[in-house]
Structure 1
Amino acid sequence: MGTDDVRLVLDFLNTVDYEDHVDHLDTDAEWRAWLAERRLAVSDRAHARHVRDAMRAAMGDQGGQATFSVPVEVTLQAGIPTLTGQNAVSNVLAAATRLALQGDWERVKICPAHDCRWAFYDQSRNRSRTWCSMRVCGNREKARAWRERARST
């Protein structure tokens, strides 16, 4: 697992926080601050939102799927082909591609809790983790399901 790749992909997917009602792609200032924190080259904010939403949709989040293309480079570093991006969005997609090639992409998941929707990395051995946090979202959803079952009996 490329921890830098996982961190970058999760950070990008979590530029929207449904629980706190924050979206770092709402304004140019927020987007530039997000980019600066990660030392990434500037990317068009509208395109970044389109790519983020498409990636989240591909992982089962709300919304439909979309297609897009971004420029990436393959360079030889110490004789090894390396996939790199030219801006923030293409760097995120290069990281996601590396995760897919390593067989780790399916470990990147979206919490199914409707009031959370947080992207997380499933580190469980059998890749069966559902909730971003069993203590918070998992517990809340299981308690809700129990109350519904108890109410119906």
Structure 2
Amino acid sequence: MTSAAELVRDFVNTYDVEDDTDDLASPAELSVWLHERALTGPGDRATDDDLTLAVCLREGLRTTLTTGLPAAALQGAQQVLEEALRALPLRVRLTTAGPGLAPLAAGVRGGLGAIAAAVARAQADGTWRRLKVCAEGTCRWAFIDASKNRSRAWCSMRVCGNRTKTRAYRARQHRTRPS
């Protein structure tokens, strides 16, 4: 079973910034993605409005998970995210496992609502603070920071961390070279 944080991470990663590829490029692809994760039934079909909502939710989450953003950029993203979340009403549900949130809607909106509910579950179980977006501007891949002190900045030190550090090194060398 996928954890709440993993579901949010996977949803954010439906768009690959570096390769400019989108797993949710059409309503049909959104329907398939949600169905593959058991968030919708086999007959549920997304509309263009559902796709627009999904992209707003995804990009709002990506920006919210990005550390070190200026307050103005973060505020704008949070407004977009809030609008998307308002379109996905949730209700409190009591189960033997305890209280949780469940989407009020069925179908695709319900599937997107389940992702919104996963945000609340990740906050409740402590994994929300471990969800991050890669600090490498050309990457922006979401990852779960499993480091002990939650200090990871890149999805991969080998790739993105190395790029960033190499770029910084070259910039320092360029500044210190005599003209």
Structure 1 pair 17–95 and aligned structure 2 pair: CA distance change class (3 A): same
**Structure (1 or 2) with the greater helix fraction:** 2
Shift of 1:107: 1.1
**Percent of residue pairs bearing the same amino acid type:** 42
Residue 121 of structure 1 pairs with residue 144 of structure 2: yes
CA RMSD after TM alignment: 2.1
Q: Cα offset for 1:103?
A: 2.7
SS at match of 2:3: helix
Q: 1:146 to 1:93 in 2, by over 3 A?
A: same
TM-aligned CA deviation for residue 3 of structure 1: 5.2
Tell me which stretches of 4 or more aligned residues in structure 1 moved more than 4 Å: none
Q: Unpaired segments of 5 or more residues in structure 1?
A: none
Corresponding residue for 1:12? 11
1:75 match: secondary structure: strand
How far apart, in 1, do the equivalents of 2:20 and 2:66 lie? 20
The within-5 A match list for 1:7-46 is 7-41=6-40, 44-46=50-52
Post-superposition Cα deviations, 1:94-140, rounded to whole Å, max 9, x if no partner, equal 11111112232121111011211000111111111100000110011
Deviations 1:60-98 (CA, angstroms, capped at 9, x unpaired): 388632222122232221272222234121111111111
1:93 aligns with 2:116: yes
Partner-residue secondary structure (3-state), 2:152: coil
Alignment match, 2:65: 59
Is the radius of gyration larger for structure 1 or structure 2? 2
Residue 127 of structure 1 aligns with an amino acid whose one-letter code is R
Q: Distance in 1 between matches of 2:118 and 2:4?
A: 5
Could you say which residue in structure 2 is the equivalent of 1:137? 160
Return the match for 2:93 from 68, 75, 91. Answer: 75
Q: What is the count of residue pairs matched by the alignment? A: 152
TM-score w.r.t. length of structure 1:
0.88
| Equivalent residue letter for 2:101 | L
**Unaligned stretches of 5+ residues in structure 2:** none
Code of the residue aligned with 1:55 in structure 2: it is L
Matches of 1:56 and 1:8 in 2, distance apart?
13
Contact 2:100 2:121 in 1 (8 A): no
Deviation of the 1:147 alpha carbon = 1.2
